[in-house]
Amino acid sequence: MSHPEQEQQKLYDDLIKPLENEQIEDFRELFLDIHPYDQAQFFLTVESEVRLRVYTYLSPTEMAEIFENFEIEEQETFISEMEPRYAAQMLAEMYADDAVDVLNELEAEQIASYLTIMDDDAAKEIKELLHYEEKTAGSIMTTEFVAIRAHQTVKRAMQILRQEAPDAETIYYIFVVDHQKRLAGVISLRDIIIADEDTVIEEIMNERVVSVSVGEDQENAARIMKDYDLLALPVVDFQNHLLGIITVDDIVDVIDEEASEDYSRLAGISDDRTSDRGPFSAARKRLPWLIILLFLGMMTASLIGRFEDTLDKVAILAVFIPLIAGMAGNTGTQALAVVVRGIATGDYNDSKKMNLVAREAGTGLIIGLVCGVVVCLVVYLWQGSIFLGMLVGFSLLCTLIVATLAGALVPLFMHKLNIDPAVASGPFITTINDMISILIYFGMATVFMSYLL
């Protein structure tokens, strides 16, 4: 065990002692002195009986700060352990967007119960965010931000900042609105501090504000924040009224969520979250794709059956089926991964897509030529038949070109139809390319049968 791990374990042991001896003040002094992340990690290491005691030792406000460091699945478990009134008060103390993330994972009856218990102001703020569709900018924004008027002076802005900063999620950007609460500009905390206090805000604010519509997909919002290196992104309605802001910590969660979702789809499964650990639940999520792939595999088998006469005459052809099909699947999956990643990061816009297809075609040609020549020589040296070597090599060349193009074109086509290109999963591309490779290989073998006999 490394030294930091030993120190961490000692800290956890020190926390357990006052809990067991019901020494509330000793526990609080030690527990509240460590970072909220370490507090959350302690929660994950203890049994539910210990956590139930901790809930009675901490206020809802103190628990709210810790709760934001848990994953969604962990939050669901812990909130179900809490006394409902305590849980409602804790949710009310959390930033509204974080509380909404927790509530969105609960049943409608539970949500209604918690909203009824908590105070009216917090419940109203959370209800407004709950109305937005999931995975949109509105669903991840926070309404706890500082906004000032364009006609106000720096002195007045600083007064507002001092009043509202304790409840705001971030104050590094202060957004400026006009008299109708429409987004007019943005000013940094640094600019306000160094400006003369009699200066009017509209004289020093930046009017070129990057914003996002409330109904915009959260993935696009994440891309905007990445492209412009923003710490906060304002969210507006169709009339440009400032509704809220998206902070960088929310975007980190979005990127992690989207990456996990894309990884699952590339593996040919739907969202397989860790909370669904039961075999029946996991099987239910994975079976749809597997059933589709099963029928596609049966089509591949039927294709081989159509070339039964060719196999009867030249049985050695069967030896190279895994080689041809495997290489097609591998190159197709490589192209797929490159294109899906490029689409997700916004690297490939409409003007670059044809260049991408041309590049992948060239890549497939070069890979096919090299692999085709190599396999041709190997087969000739192994079997002593130059015609068999040329057949396998040329079939591999054609197969790799087509497979690489398929790996690039399928996700681009799906993206054009506004379908997540990640659903063009690795297993799907592999199975499709298996069919194409078998058709090319046996088609050529049948045509040039006379040279093989």
Instruction: Show the tokens assigned to 367.
Output: 């890979």
Per-residue pLDDT at 270 exceeds 60: no
Q: Is the dihedral of CA 438, 441, 445, 446 positive or negative?
A: positive
**Greatest distance between any 2 Cα atoms in the chain:** 96
Q: Considering only residues 255 and 235, tell me which one the structure prediction assigns the higher pLDDT.
A: 235
Q: How far is the C-alpha of 356 from the C-alpha of 378, rounded, in Å?
A: 33
Give residue-wise pLDDT tens across range 341-380. 777 666 666 667 788 888 888 998 999 999 999 999 998 8
Chain position carrying tokens 């040039």: 448
Q: What are the helix and strand counts (H, E) for the chain?
A: 23, 6
Give φ, ψ of 233 to 5 degrees. -125, 120
Query: Chain-wide mean pLDDT for the chain?
Result: 84
Ranked by mean pLDDT, which of 23-27, 258-262, 416-420 comes out on top?
23-27
Q: How far is the C-alpha of 14 from the C-alpha of 16, rounded, in Å?
A: 6
Give residue-wise pLDDT tens across range 37-90. 889 999 888 888 889 999 999 999 999 999 988 888 888 889 999 999 999 999
Q: How far is the C-alpha of 184 from the C-alpha of 382, rounded, in Å?
A: 75
Mean pLDDT calculated for residue range 230-242: 93
**Nearest by Cα to 403 from 299, 296, 323, 329:** 329
Q: How far is the C-alpha of 15 from the C-alpha of 36, rounded, in Å?
A: 14
Q: How many CB atoms lie under 10 A from the CB of residue 110?
A: 15
Where are the extended beta strands (E) located within 239-389? 242-247
With residue 215 as reference, give the H or E element that holds it. none
- Domain(s) labelled CATH 1.10.357.20 in the chain stretch across 279-452
**SS3 assignment, position 297:** helix
Per-residue pLDDT at 426 exceeds 70: no
Residues 6+ away with beta carbon under 8 Å from 39: 31, 66, 69
- Domain(s) labelled CATH 1.25.60.10 in the chain stretch across 3-131
- Domain(s) labelled CATH 3.10.580.10 in the chain stretch across 147-262
Give residue-wise pLDDT tens across range 171-211. 888 999 998 999 999 999 999 999 999 999 999 999 999 99
Q: What is the CATH number of domain 3-131?
A: 1.25.60.10
Which segment of 97-101, 208-212, 234-238, 299-303 scores lowest on mean pLDDT? 299-303
**SS3 assignment, position 187:** strand
Q: What is the CATH number of domain 147-262?
A: 3.10.580.10
Q: What is the CATH number of domain 279-452?
A: 1.10.357.20
Question: Quick check: 303 and 376 in contact, CB under 8 A?
Answer: no
Mean pLDDT calculated for residue range 127-149: 90
Residues 6+ away with beta carbon under 8 Å from 167: 144
Mean pLDDT calculated for residue range 148-160: 93
